[in-house]
Amino acid sequence: DTGVSQNPRHKITKRGQNVTFRCDPISEHNRLYWYRQTLGQGPEFLTYFQNEAQLEKSRLLSDRFSAERPKGSFSTLEIQRTEQGDSAMYLCASSPQGGQGLYNEQFFGPGTRLTVL
Amino acid sequence: QKEVEQDPGPLSVPEGAIVSLNCTYSNSAFQYFMWYRQYSRKGPELLMYTYSSGNKEDGRFTAQVDKSSKYISLFIRDSQPSDSATYLCAMSAPGDTDKLIFGTGTRLQVFP
């Protein structure tokens, strides 16, 4: 399967614990996105990487959240001191970079469902 | 007010019906308009993509964009039970990131 993969698929944790999620994009896609989706809502943009550079972060990404993409390949999203409000589906997407003004489809992974007790 | 508004439904229709799904938006900078389908506990998958205004047809699906009214639609003809899913509209403005702004999604149920 050459799609976007995410691990783990499910994570249950207690409030206050740290969690880390991993995303493996489609190979040679240099753009990588993280989104968060709560129940009954559409995905909301969290952050964007072009290769290894994190170029945009949403205001939703509090100081407890950190994302990395070392070497421009896989990415990790860490949440420190989790809160119940962090319970959501965390989606990763990747896309190739085309020419200026062209739209490049974002391919989504299956997501990591986080439950904070 | 959200940048993209979408009726969450649920929408329940009999098999074979024509389904109309809609979104409105407020940001006139949006140029790329997408419809994603999301099955339960799965990631979204792209159904249709339209640049600027106009219509686009792909099999049983037709996407329409009316930029003057800031209104987009997705029509599904001859709906099937397998079309039962949540349909998300998404939009993007030209720029460096192409980040997507999604509607809340409309849950569709097609019953036999």
Q: What is the mean pLDDT of residues B86-95?
A: 91
Look at chain A and count its residues. Answer: 117
Q: How far apart are CA A48 and CA A69, in angstroms?
A: 10
Query: How many other β-carbons are positioned within 10 Å of the β-carbon of residue B5?
Result: 15
Please judge whether B99 and A108 are an interchain contact, meaning their C-beta atoms are less than 8 angstroms apart: no
Residue A1 has pLDDT above 60, yes or no: no
pLDDT band per the 50, 70, 90 thresholds, residue B8:
confident
Query: Which residues make Cβ contacts (< 8 Å) with residue A100, sequence separation at least 6?
Result: none
pLDDT band per the 50, 70, 90 thresholds, residue B51:
confident
Distance of CA A15 to the CA centre of its chain: 20
pLDDT at B96: 67
pLDDT band per the 50, 70, 90 thresholds, residue A101:
low
Q: What is the mean pLDDT of residues B59-68?
A: 95
Chain A contact for B43 (CB, 8 A cutoff): yes
The mean predicted confidence, pLDDT, of chain B is 93
Q: Which residue has the higher pLDDT, B97 or B29?
A: B29
Q: How far apart are CA B87 and CA B105, in angstroms?
A: 5
Distance of CA B8 to the CA centre of its chain: 12
pLDDT (tens digit, 9 = 90+) per residue, A17-35?
999 999 999 998 999 999 9
Of B4, B23, B33, B18, the closest CA to residue B83 belongs to B18
Query: Which residues make Cβ contacts (< 8 Å) with residue B95, sequence separation at least 6?
Result: none
Could you tell me the CA-to-CA distances from B51 to A66, B30, B45, B94, B104 in Å, in that order?
A: 33, 9, 18, 10, 21
Please judge whether A42 and B96 are an interchain contact, meaning their C-beta atoms are less than 8 angstroms apart: no
Chain A contact for B45 (CB, 8 A cutoff): yes
Chain B contact for A33 (CB, 8 A cutoff): yes
Distance of CA B48 to the CA centre of its chain: 8
List the beta bridge partners of residue B6.
Answer: B23
List the beta bridge partners of residue B110.
Answer: B13
Q: How far apart are CA B11 and CA B85, in angstroms?
A: 10
pLDDT at A97: 77
Please judge whether B98 and A95 are an interchain contact, meaning their C-beta atoms are less than 8 angstroms apart: yes
| Sign of the C-alpha dihedral computed for residues A52, A57, A62 and A63 taken in this order | positive
Q: CB-side exposure of B20: number of CA atoms within 13 Å?
A: 4
pLDDT at B85: 97
Q: Which residue has the higher pLDDT, B9 or A36?
A: A36
Query: Which residues make Cβ contacts (< 8 Å) with residue A15, sequence separation at least 6?
Result: A82, A83, A84, A116, A117
Chain A contact for B39 (CB, 8 A cutoff): no
